[in-house]
Amino acid sequence: MLIKLDHSIRISVDNPRSHLFYRTNTAILLEREKHKKSDFAHVIHPFSSFRVYWEMFMMLVFLLYLIITPVIIAFFQMVRLPKAVLILDGTFDFICIIDICLTFITGYAIDHTKEVVLNRRNITANYLLSIYFVLDVISSIPTEMILLFVWLLGWDTQALMKYVQLANLLKVIRTRTLMTYMSRAA
């Protein structure tokens, strides 16, 4: 299983973006060998099959997110939402946190120089210094869990409701990530 996972994080000849970036199968295979023998062999290549499948999965999650978030915002205070909706929302938050973690170990391509960065320090710096990291973290805050924690402490949750609704609205910010993933899939 580890061998299959190891293979799935390397550049794939089946990924259409690989061919757009490297042009030939030979160049793709050379990049795969270079990645395998590098100090960054554990980093996920941005043109790997794992990344393709993960981004397709995340597109589905974000589309569902865009449906469920307005429902939660509209009805959270007026009616008691079914537990399934809250569990689904919490699950989406958890998946988005996993996506943030994976971004820290996934290389990125620089189109104008035709370079793929696989150095973990550079990947981390690039993501942390981008506006996307801040937006991803803010939009992935599990607001319902925070509200539950405050309620368990016996504090007044009504005062927090406006902030919880605002935080839920910020989850729609992840639409930017959805659009990025969709453009890569096209």
Report DSSP letters for 26-62, one per residue. Answer: HHHHHHHHHHHHSTTTTSBPTTBHHHHHHHHHHHHHH
**Does residue 81 have a pLDDT over 80?**
no
Tell me, what's the pLDDT at 76? 62
**Over residues 67-96, mean pLDDT:** 74
Q: How far apart are CA 86 and CA 143, in angstroms?
A: 10
Handedness of CA 162, 163, 164, 165 (dihedral sign): positive
Q: How far apart are CA 47 and CA 11, in angstroms?
A: 5
**Amino acid identity for residue 127 in this structure:** Y
**Does residue 110 have a pLDDT over 70?**
yes
Tell me, what's the pLDDT at 179? 81
The chain-wide mean pLDDT, for the chain, equals 84
List phi, psi (to 5°) of 14.
-80, -15
Q: What is the pTM of this model?
A: 0.83
**Over residues 112-124, mean pLDDT:** 94
**Does residue 79 have a pLDDT over 60?**
no
Tell me, what's the pLDDT at 177? 78
Tell me, what's the pLDDT at 1? 52
pLDDT band at 125 (very low <50, low <70, confident <90, very high): very high
Dump pLDDT digits (tens) for 138-165. Answer: 888 887 777 777 777 777 766 676 677 6
